[in-house]
Structure 1
Amino acid sequence: MSNRILSLLLPLLLTGCLLSPGKFTSELVLLEDDQFTFSYQGEIQMLALTDLAQMEAKKRTEFTATPCYDDETYEDRECTDDELEKQKTDWEELQAANASRRNREAEQMRAVLGGIDPTDPDAANEFASKLERQRNWKSVEYKGNGLVEVDYSVSGKLINDFTFPVIEQMQTTLPFMTVILRDKGQVRIEAPGYAAQEGGDPMAAMLGGGMGLSALMLAEASEEGEDLSLTAPEGTFRIVTNGRILANNTDEGPSKEGRREVLTWEITPRTKTAPMALIGFE
């Protein structure tokens, strides 16, 4: 893994951006008397963990001398023994400093991820095991290359704010979807994990969802001749309610299913605006 990718990953881990939806179907049902059901079926990716582990293993670990030049003609010349020794000493010091920094960063990463080392080839499998033992995860199947196929569903009385996903021992997780309860019977729904942030700022995109991070990591890996297999969010998110829709940012507005109204967002790798809705109940 390049030093730049590692340095990018650490702050992103601290904001919970390592998790991203893959192909999915998700639905939130909000009914009167605070009844709700939320479901998510599809992929969750811990971004490129297998590839990152392989990149870490491929790091150059042997010293290679750099050319020496004539001070007057600037032409290549054979390096002296002293110059070669100085180059090797400088390289060894740099390697030691880099190793020390990577160890510190790895400890910070493991702390944020509840003990998971993202450069460990078995990290995504360990993540899948964490999900499998949590309630409401009906099935969890590790598909390889950081992809986990899940079936999550929860129903009950919505008396507190709700966030998905919440992962055991992970300090922070960028929410795929949040439900915020307001006064006067209003409920605000946002799904920041289903889209990158609007605008061209790369850091804003990374903080807003997995797609921006995927793009930046792909560009970095391409410069180094690496091939990262990353999955962008792609699927459908629906809100079904018998409340009053006060605001939403769907393309076509609500449709009807019996006495209930339905908001639908089709999520593609080109989706820029995160789904949002405000629903009121008497």
Structure 2
Amino acid sequence: MLHRLKAVAFALMAPLVLASCLFVPGKFDSALTIHADRTFTFTYKGEVMAVDLQSFMGKAMQMGMEEAAKEKSGKKAKAPEKEPDFTLTPEEKAKQDETFRKLAIEVAKEAGYRSVEYRGNGMFWVDYQISGVLDHGFLFPYNLDNQMIMPWIAVELRGKDLIRVKAPGYVRMSGSGMGNMGDMSALGMMPGGMGEAFTRLQGTFTLTTDAELVSQNNEEGAVTTGKDKVITWKTDTTTTDAPMASIRVRAVQ
């Protein structure tokens, strides 16, 4: 039955979950500028959806154990079983909101966060901007103290003069990391607010560079504006190809 499949799906996800929350983008606008001299600026402005994995998975695993016990005892339901209720109780909801409000305060203290506001129902509004020099990799978001361990965008150093940008978190999550959670949501395999968090994904990611653009995966290509090449990806819940580009910059000595 469908509710049993949901319980099993969550149980199978358990070994993959390293934190009590999963953070995914909602409606957003993000930009990354990389110069030939390795200086960069990254911005993210928009929604961040928090998925309370601990609450959902605890209930799902309990359901799975109950179903297994029934099957082992040979008991069968005499009437069609009701769809399980994953909705948080008022007490659980209040506790979750308080946790997220405290989280917003803590995250706002970190470098780059110009504004972090918790707006309820697991949704944060974030205004982030950071600049620096790419003599090391860059991930966003990533914060061990606040359990942000599944970054949406990664800037990697490849050799002495090549930089690769990839943004797997800006598209439907599937195929790696958290398994195929986005696909599970689309199929109705995720209950309540957990599935709803994935349905808000809609955004724009713009990459600007005055360095050599080695490769990129946007079908519309780059637009030249003065010395800059500009690539704009628009993503939503149907997008599966993560924005990606390779750029040749000044070599590290």
After TM superposition, the score normalised by the length of structure 1 is 0.65
Counterpart in 2 of 1:28? 32
Aligned partner letter, 2:116: V
Distance in 2 (CA, whole Å) between partners of 1:227 and 1:240 is: 34
Structure 1 residues 144 and 118: alpha-carbon distance in aligned structure 2, compared to 1, 3 A threshold: closer
**Map 1:117-136 → 2, pairs under 5 A:** 120-122=95-97, 123-136=99-112
Which sections of structure 1, spanning at least 5 residues, go unmatched? Answer: 60-65, 67-75, 77-116
Distance in 1 of aligned mates of 2:136 and 2:218: 25
- Equivalents in 2 of 1:272, 1:29: separation in Å? 23
Q: 1:14 aligns with which of 14, 18, 24?
A: 18
Question: Does 241-250 or 228-237 show the bigger shift?
Answer: 228-237
Residue 266 in structure 1 maps to residue 234 in structure 2 = yes
What is the DSSP-based 3-state SS (H/G/I as helix, E as strand, rest coil) of the residue aligned with 1:126? helix
Verify: 1:221 aligned to 2:196, yes or no. Answer: no
Q: 206, 219, 223: which is aligned to 1:255?
A: 223
Over the matched positions of the two proteins, sequence identity in percent amounts to 33
Q: Does 2:251 correspond to 1:280?
A: no
Alpha-carbon distance in structure 2 between the residues aligned to 1:268 and 1:16: 25
- Residue 163 of structure 1 aligns with which residue? 139
Match of 1:211 among 164, 170, 182: 182
Is the CA contact (8 Å cut-off) linking 1:195 and 1:211 kept in structure 2? Answer: no
CA distance 1:136–1:227, shift in 2 (3 Å): closer
For 2:155, give the aligned amino acid: V
Aligned CA RMSD, in angstroms, stands at 3.6
State the AA in 2 paired with 1:236. T
Counterpart of 1:236? 204
Secondary structure of the equivalent of 2:178?
helix
Once the two structures are TM-superposed, the CA of residue 247 in structure 1 deviates from its matched residue by 0.8
Structure 2 unaligned spans of 5+ = 64-69, 71-77, 79-91
d(CA) in 2 for partners of 1:208, 1:16: 16
Question: Closer, same or farther in 2 for the Cα pair 1:220/1:161, shift >3 Å?
Answer: closer
1:32–1:281: 8 Å Cα contact kept in structure 2? Answer: yes
- Cα distance in 1 for partners of 2:180, 2:141 equals 13
Bigger share in strand = 2
What's the CA shift string for 1:225-267, capped at 9, x where partnerless?
Answer: x995324321000110001111111121100222100111101
Instruction: Decide whether the 8 Å contact of 1:52 with 1:119 is kept in 2.
Output: no
Residues 141 and 170 of structure 1, relative CA distance in 2, 3 Å threshold? closer
Deviation at 1:212, TM superposition (A): 3.6
Residue 168 (structure 2) aligned to one of 170, 189, 192: 192
> What is residue 159 of structure 2 aligned with on the other side?
183
Matched residue, 1:44: 48
Q: Report the counterpart of residue 113 of structure 1 in structure 2.
A: none
Opposite residue 38 of structure 2, the aligned amino acid is D
Q: Secondary structure at the match of 2:135?
A: coil
Contact 1:17–1:173 (CA<8 Å) still a contact in 2?
A: no
Query: Residue in 2 aligned with 1:82?
Result: none
- State which drifts further: 40-49 or 156-165: 40-49
User: Is this contact kept in 1: 2:27–2:202, CA < 8 A?
Assistant: yes
Deviation at 1:32, TM superposition (A): 1.9
TM-score, length of structure 2 as denominator length? 0.71
CA shift in 2, pair 1:17/1:236, >3 Å: farther
Query: What amino acid is aligned across from residue 215 of structure 2 in structure 1?
Result: A
Quote the Cα distance in structure 2 between the aligned partners of 1:162 and 1:241.
16
